[in-house]
Chain A
Amino acid sequence: MKVLLNAKQIDSILNKLTSRIIADIPEGVEIAVIGIRSRGEIVAQRLAKRLSEKIGSDIPCGTLDITLYRDDLNSPKSGSQPRVRTTEITFDIDDKLIILVDDVLHTGRSARAAMDALIDLGRPKAIRLAVLVDRAGREFPIQADYAGYKADAKPEKLVQVFLKESDNKEQVIVE
């Protein structure tokens, strides 16, 4: 196991992501942050908080459960039964710039599922993808607009994000 990022580095990456996202917001466009369950939800909440502070107004933040949109429901692998959780997006996503957030971008399949799920909720002006860690291993033609950290992990390696809200510790590891 190797630690890729510690708490301080995660904090600084989130700050940089916040600044980059703000710099790209076109004039007069409303933004909202939506995190993919479960770690993406936490990263999204932290980003939304920082964005709200910097912009000076409340940026809406929601959570997307993509289970029903997964592409492997009919070819399940043993040991990992998908669990349906709730999608909690209480605002209208129409015409908003949606910052879609996940902890790790790997195969791109989660992001694909998330985009399909979002489209069923409305018609956003644009969707941008922000991730804490961008690792090698893409299977779909999907790239992050905002990648906090690029990890060049071998395919058999597992990149894991631990956040204090859900794991009582704060680090990114590869093992």
Chain B
Amino acid sequence: MAEKGKTKEFKWQRKHLLGLRELTAEEITYILDTAQGFEEISARAVKKAPPLRGKLVVNLFFEDSTRTRNSFALAANRLSADVVEFTKKDSSVSKGETLLDTARNLEAMGIDIVVIRHNAGGAPTLLSKCINACVVNAGDGYCEHPTQGLLDVFTIRKRKGSLKGLKIAIVGDISHSRVARSDMWAMTKLGAEVTFVGPPTLMPPKVEQLPVKISYSLDDVIEKVDVINMLRIQFERLGGNPFPSVREYSHYFGLTVERMKRAKPDIIVMHPGPINRGLEIESEVADGKNSVILQQVTNGVTVRMAVLFLVNQAAAEKQAEAQNG
């Protein structure tokens, strides 16, 4: 059943998806192209296909999450995998120990893919080094949230055809946002120009070393951008007093109906959710015609299906190679 004729040179080889920083533009594009083939599954009567039948996916979440966890579970279910939920709200044990112990337990359960979210940056990478199963990063510390980055560029590509030359603003609490980082890697690798927008107190240290422009004024960039991604103010992560008041933040950095009047008519409005209505984004804008916030949720399942499929495929190939010497 081998495909005849011309075969593409490119081959997907990663059995882990740890971050987008390490991926090439070609790899990112390959994931997006693959994801297109999975869109149709969610739209039909039988919302299931069999490629991961008999595979066990573990959702290992050390941090609260509803939507990402459900999105991964749904993606795994649609590919006919079995899913075990393993959530640990607040691990008080030292990180390294917990992870290694957990990893051993998971191995003993015969898992194939671990989807991990952890408050420590680098946890997925550590896990990938000590178990045989595939590891997919569902958010680690302030480092990366690769599937969110992928679903964001997938959503933009669907609307605009390509990321090349697009001007994109990512607005809000950049310093605590792994979404901003994964977005930045994916978007810039695909040829977009990214501007981080927010108060100086919410910019990460050494931000000037990242491949982005920086602006402290939303009013300066609103007219120029093709895409605007409004980050959620993560009250649970904010320490100190990064801005004087919620109202003041909203005044300077909220996406209001007034500001939208100055934006390009076909601007895409994004938000990784869950949204704080009236804070970083006004309801009319979040529900307006430029908003793709709900498409992002739908596309999240699609992109995660592609990721689970690809890492499993790479693992199967590596195993076959090992067996054949």
- The residue of chain A having its C-beta at the shortest distance from the C-beta of B13 within the complex is A81
A120 to chain B, nearest CB (A): 4
Cross-interface CB contact of B37 among A72, A84, A109, cutoff 8 Å: A84
Contacting A at CB under 8 A, from B1-21, are: 1-5, 7-8, 11-12
Interface 1/0s, chain A 77-97, versus B by CB < 8 A? 110111111111000000000
**In the complex the two chains form, is A75's CB within 8 Å of B320's CB?**
yes
**In the complex the two chains form, is A81's CB within 8 Å of B44's CB?**
no
**In the complex the two chains form, is B37's CB within 8 Å of A85's CB?**
yes
Cross-interface CB contact of B317 among A65, A81, A162, cutoff 8 Å: A81
Spot the interface stretch: B48-56, B159-167, B211-219, B267-275.
Answer: B48-56
Q: Does A38 contact B (CB under 8 A)?
A: yes
- Asked, given contacts A67-B37, A68-B51, A75-B320, whether A83 binds B5 with beta carbons under 8 Å apart, the answer is no
- The residue of chain A having its C-beta at the shortest distance from the C-beta of B49 within the complex is A68
- Asked, given contacts A84-B38, A121-B46, whether A72 binds B1 with beta carbons under 8 Å apart, the answer is yes
- The residue of chain A having its C-beta at the shortest distance from the C-beta of B48 within the complex is A120
B66 to chain A, nearest CB (A): 28
- The residue of chain A having its C-beta at the shortest distance from the C-beta of B40 within the complex is A87
A residues in contact with B11, CB < 8 Å: 81
**In the complex the two chains form, is B4's CB within 8 Å of A160's CB?**
yes
Q: How far is the CA of A109 from the CA of B8 in the complex (A)?
A: 22
B residues in contact with A74, CB < 8 Å: 316
- Asked, given contacts A78-B324, A120-B44, whether A160 binds B5 with beta carbons under 8 Å apart, the answer is yes
A104 to chain B, nearest CB (A): 8
B residues in contact with A39, CB < 8 Å: 4-5
Q: How far is the CA of A147 from the CA of B18 in the complex (A)?
A: 49
Q: Does A69 contact B (CB under 8 A)?
A: yes
A residues in contact with B79, CB < 8 Å: 68
- The residue of chain A having its C-beta at the shortest distance from the C-beta of B314 within the complex is A81
A175 to chain B, nearest CB (A): 11
Q: Does B258 contact A (CB under 8 A)?
A: no
A residues in contact with B50, CB < 8 Å: 68-69, 116
Contacting A at CB under 8 A, from B45-72, are: 45-46, 48-51
**In the complex the two chains form, is A122's CB within 8 Å of B45's CB?**
yes
Q: Does A107 contact B (CB under 8 A)?
A: yes
- The residue of chain A having its C-beta at the shortest distance from the C-beta of B12 within the complex is A81
B242 to chain A, nearest CB (A): 43
Q: How far is the CA of A68 from the CA of B317 in the complex (A)?
A: 16
Q: How far is the CA of A174 from the CA of B76 in the complex (A)?
A: 41
Q: Does B34 contact A (CB under 8 A)?
A: yes
Q: How far is the CA of A167 from the CA of B4 in the complex (A)?
A: 11
Interface 1/0s, chain B 281-325, versus A by CB < 8 A? 000000000000000000000000010010001001100110010
Q: How far is the CA of A110 from the CA of B38 in the complex (A)?
A: 19
Q: Does B24 contact A (CB under 8 A)?
A: no
B residues in contact with A77, CB < 8 Å: 2, 320
Q: Does B36 contact A (CB under 8 A)?
A: yes
Q: Does A76 contact B (CB under 8 A)?
A: yes
Q: How far is the CA of A65 from the CA of B11 in the complex (A)?
A: 19
**In the complex the two chains form, is A78's CB within 8 Å of B37's CB?**
no
Give the interface centre of B1, B38, B45 by most chain A CB atoms within 10 Å.
B1
**In the complex the two chains form, is B316's CB within 8 Å of A120's CB?**
no
Q: How far is the CA of A77 from the CA of B324 in the complex (A)?
A: 10
Cross-interface CB contact of A109 among B1, B38, B39, B44, cutoff 8 Å: B1
Q: Does A57 contact B (CB under 8 A)?
A: no
Q: How far is the CA of A167 from the CA of B37 in the complex (A)?
A: 23
Q: How far is the CA of A128 from the CA of B51 in the complex (A)?
A: 25
**In the complex the two chains form, is B313's CB within 8 Å of A82's CB?**
yes
**In the complex the two chains form, is B49's CB within 8 Å of A120's CB?**
yes
Cross-interface CB contact of B44 among A71, A121, A167, cutoff 8 Å: A121
- The residue of chain A having its C-beta at the shortest distance from the C-beta of B52 within the complex is A73
B76 to chain A, nearest CB (A): 14
16 contacts between A and B (CB under 8 A): A38-B5, A39-B4, A68-B49, A68-B51, A69-B49, A69-B50, A74-B316, A78-B321, A80-B3, A81-B12, A82-B3, A86-B36, A107-B1, A117-B49, A120-B48, A161-B4
Partner-B contacts on A (CB < 8 A): 38-39, 65, 67-78, 80-88, 107, 109-110, 113, 116-117, 119-122, 158, 160-162, 166-167
Please name 9 further chain A to chain B contacts, defined as beta carbons within 8 Å, in addition to the given A65-B37, A113-B1, sorted by A numbering: A68-B41, A68-B51, A73-B316, A76-B316, A81-B12, A84-B38, A84-B306, A117-B49, A122-B45
Top 6 closest pairs, chain A to chain B, by CB: A84-B37, A68-B49, A120-B46, A80-B2, A68-B51, A109-B1
